[in-house]
Structure 1
Amino acid sequence: MGSRTESENEREIWKAMEVAEGARGDNSSSHVLQSSSLTLDTSLSLPDLTPPLIELCKDLFKKWSRLDDSSFSVETVSGGITNLLLKVSVKEEDGNEVPVTVRLYGPNTDYVINRERELQAIKYLSAAGFGAKLLGVFQNGMVQSFINARTLIPQDMRVPKLAAEIAKQLHKFHRVDIPGSKEPQLWNDIFKFYENASILHFDDIEKRKKYETISFKEVYNEVVEIKELTDLLNAPVVFAHNDLLSGNLMLNDDEEKLYIIDFEYGSYSYRGYDIGNHFNEYAGYDCDYSLYPSKDEQYHFFRHYLQPDKPHQVSDKDLEALYVETNTYMLVSHLFWALWALIQAKMSPIDFDYLGYFFLRYNEFKRQKEQACSLARSYLSGRESR
């Protein structure tokens, strides 16, 4: 799907939702979503990107259209391996300074991210108090309210007080009702990734040699085996974040307020997958999986997730069930991001060793598989005998 068509579809979704809300008197969003047909070139340096970014802001928000360009200042918030985040500070006519965040989608990310699904969910998540408020959309990005907080680093997530707060927030996140199908999308996404990842061709000789060492028959069999095992767990289906790494958690230290942000991979999925994926992110950007949380650390998280108000009243039975569920779906997280990395290796212009990342995640999956699967089978066998 072309980026222009994608953006037009996004705007149609918003128009339809706003009409529906007007019909039923839903005032969960008091602002009208602004849209622009402009596209920003993500390859530009910040000085070269600033003039078109100012033009975009003026096009989206009419109250800024008469302001002099000197009223706008732009700075980089972060540049990850998927998106570029920019802070635009605008000095309005009354002298007030208003900050907004502009998120530029990485090139070709529509191969791995369903933007329509993201935009459908973001309004309801925002109304429930998650993330920043969505103010506008344009061809290859969105503008959101600015969150005055710092982005967490991997080490923060294992601090007991913060781990408890993340668990509480995730409990609330999983209770948000997103209209539409509640069918879990996890395996649909994984099989789609597999199909796309298994037919790639690399012009670069070194990349091609690495790619050709992958046995896709083996990968497929692993996916099918783990799907069959996790299906037996009957894990609750929730609207999951699916990418709860440190970079998608922000903290205002003064107010001690935690924010869950960026819902690009959000979908209805399995509770244990979202938590297992989060635990994998304790490894940080260096992928040091020796940092994966211990059983005690996991139980601390589970108590605050299952009963935020009475964490010490969670039963041993419930803790064990979530432990097994999480540590089986942890394997699925490795498969998801391994296949994702192969597609990115072909499609993304970003200078990152995505092929190497595939092997990091897939090898960790194989290393953890026997122990995690044995735990699940033992639990299932015990459950049947009871």
Structure 2
Amino acid sequence: MNRRLKLTIDVTKDPERDALNIAKLAMEEWKDIADDDIHVRELAGGITNRLGFKDHHVLVRVYGSNTEVLIDRDEELRCITELGKISLAPPIHAVFNNGFVYGYYEGETLDATCTALANGVHNKEIAERMAEWHSSKGIEGDKRPTIWDKLLKYLSLVPDEYSTQEKNEQMKKANLSKARILEEIHFFKDRLEKDDLRVGFCHNDLLAGNVVYNPIDSEISFNCESLLINSENIYFIDYEYGAYNYNTFDIANHFCEWCGFELVYEQYPSKEKQYEFFKSYLKRLDGRDPSESELEKWYTDVQRMSLVCHFFWGIWALVQAHISQLTFDYLPYGINRIQYAIHNRPRLFE
């Protein structure tokens, strides 16, 4: 049972001090350690801090402002707990009012420019790790694909009008009314539900920053709990969107992330790179080499599902343009992804 702490971290004041105090309450074995002996490293603008003492490290994660509009935090905690039971996520040590303390995977995230993805350096290892996720058994929750309900939920959060004339003009120029977006969602749902698509427990957000690579084959310490790194040395982190979904969504979404936040669509993996991924993925998933016809079907299904990924994150960005306090320009990003999907739909759904 996770410890519940009635404490809040204010990221505008002294988040490192707050994170240290909360970590010492969460970690029983740290209570008598001097503060100066515990090193704190800020990882994400005060939102996440890594704390360590000797070989033991934990993360103190603070929820971003307004993110509860898009993310069910109770479901996120349940997801991490379930994944932890089968060694696919680190343990949660404590939960506080606006975040939680959990274990830490040693290593580095793949670079934010997505070069490591676009070069396919870890294509095989990511494919095999994803297959482990999708074949995992016993994770509780709704076994239906989550994507359709999420699309409708997010669309309902898009404002009829934005707070600035500039944003309203951008939406008008793009010809993206909520009614039109809803029509597109219904089209994809009607077509894809007819296909024979596998469903498994998916990460649903495998961008470069959510893949950790540790080149050293060693034992990770989770403070009295440990996990032996296997030969792949690849781990997935940040489980906010974890849920049952189409396996093809997880794969297609990962391929879309090869394009980066700049949406360099030319970096989307070639058919050859995708086939390399599918071969490793399906061999781990099914225990055998896939046939040529199976590879072609996965290729077709993933290409089609990639358009749903663009709609998902496109609509997500339209909501963020309304609620986020970050400086990222969400609206043109969302419009770009949705328009790209609409433009390519005739080519992939003949």
TM beyond 0.5? yes
**Residue 60 (structure 1) aligned with residue 30 (structure 2):** no
How many Å separate the matches in 2 of 1:287 and 1:176?
Answer: 32
Q: 1:118 aligns with which of 55, 76, 80?
A: 76
Match in the other structure for 2:220: none
Match in the other structure for 1:186: 147
Q: 1:220 aligns with which of 182, 191, 216?
A: 182
Q: 2:51 aligns with which of 88, 94, 101?
A: 88
Shift of 1:33: 2.2
Match in the other structure for 2:250: 274
Q: 2:8 aligns with which of 33, 36, 39?
A: 39
How many Å separate the matches in 1 of 2:216 and 2:38?
Answer: 27
Q: 2:62, 2:98 within 8 Å by CA — same for their partners in 1?
A: yes
Q: 1:342 aligns with which of 318, 328, 331?
A: 318
Match in the other structure for 1:299: 275
The 10-residue stretch of structure 1 (327-336 or 361-370) with the greater mean CA deviation from structure 2 = 361-370
Matched ranges for 1:325-364 at <5 A: 325-364=301-340
How many Å separate the matches in 2 of 1:161 and 1:282?
Answer: 12
Secondary structure of the residue that 2:349 maps to in structure 1? helix
Shift of 1:53: 1.8
Secondary structure of the residue that 1:209 maps to in structure 2? helix
Q: Summarize deviations over 1:323-344 as a string: whole Å, max 9, x none.
A: 1111111000000001101111
Secondary structure of the residue that 2:122 maps to in structure 1? helix
Which structure has more relative contact order (CA 8 Å, sep 6+)? It is: 2
Match in the other structure for 1:308: 284
The 10-residue stretch of structure 1 (314-323 or 54-63) with the greater mean CA deviation from structure 2 = 54-63
Q: 1:210 aligns with which of 145, 170, 195?
A: 170
**Residue 72 (structure 1) aligned with residue 38 (structure 2):** yes
How many Å separate the matches in 1 of 2:199 and 2:18?
Answer: 42
Higher helix proportion, which one?
A: 1
How many Å separate the matches in 1 of 2:181 and 2:170?
Answer: 15
Secondary structure of the residue that 1:88 maps to in structure 2? strand
How many Å separate the matches in 2 of 1:174 and 1:312?
Answer: 16
Secondary structure of the residue that 1:39 maps to in structure 2? coil
How many Å separate the matches in 1 of 2:26 and 2:87?
Answer: 24
Q: 1:131, 1:262 within 8 Å by CA — same for their partners in 2?
A: no
Q: Which runs of 5+ in 2 are unaligned?
A: 218-231
Match in the other structure for 2:15: 49
Secondary structure of the residue that 1:57 maps to in structure 2? helix
Q: Which runs of 5+ in 1 are unaligned?
A: 1-31, 91-95, 375-386
Paired AA for residue 2 in structure 2: L
Q: Summarize deviations over 1:342-381 as a string: whole Å, max 9, x none.
A: 111111111111111111211221232221212xxxxxxx
**Residue 176 (structure 1) aligned with residue 149 (structure 2):** no
Structure 1 residues 166 and 39: CA distance shift in structure 2, 3 A:
same
Matched ranges for 1:158-169 at <5 A: 158-160=118-120, 162-169=122-129
Match in the other structure for 1:264: 240
Structure 1 residues 364 and 43: CA distance shift in structure 2, 3 A:
farther
Paired AA for residue 59 in structure 1: L
Q: 1:337, 1:361 within 8 Å by CA — same for their partners in 2?
A: yes
Match in the other structure for 1:104: 62
Q: 1:244, 1:281 within 8 Å by CA — same for their partners in 2?
A: yes
The 10-residue stretch of structure 1 (201-210 or 285-294) with the greater mean CA deviation from structure 2 = 201-210
How many Å separate the matches in 2 of 1:218 and 1:309?
Answer: 38
Shift of 1:97: 5.2
Larger radius of gyration: 1
Q: Summarize deviations over 1:29-71 as a string: whole Å, max 9, x none.
A: xxx5222121112334xxx222222222233334434444323
Structure 1 residues 215 and 105: CA distance shift in structure 2, 3 A:
same
Secondary structure of the residue that 1:56 maps to in structure 2? helix
Paired AA for residue 86 in structure 2: A
The 10-residue stretch of structure 1 (131-140 or 275-284) with the greater mean CA deviation from structure 2 = 131-140
Secondary structure of the residue that 1:59 maps to in structure 2? helix
Runs of 4+ in structure 1 over 6 Å off: 309-312
Match in the other structure for 1:377: none
**Residue 140 (structure 1) aligned with residue 106 (structure 2):** no
TM-score (norm 2): 0.88
TM-score (norm 1): 0.80
How many Å separate the matches in 2 of 1:65 and 1:311?
Answer: 47
**Residue 283 (structure 1) aligned with residue 259 (structure 2):** yes
Task: Among all aligned residue pairs of Structure 1 and Structure 2, give the percentage whose two residues are the same amino acid.
Answer: 31
Shift of 1:203: 2.6
Match in the other structure for 1:28: none
**Residue 253 (structure 1) aligned with residue 229 (structure 2):** no
Q: 2:197, 2:246 within 8 Å by CA — same for their partners in 1?
A: yes
Secondary structure of the residue that 1:227 maps to in structure 2? helix
Q: 1:242, 1:274 within 8 Å by CA — same for their partners in 2?
A: yes
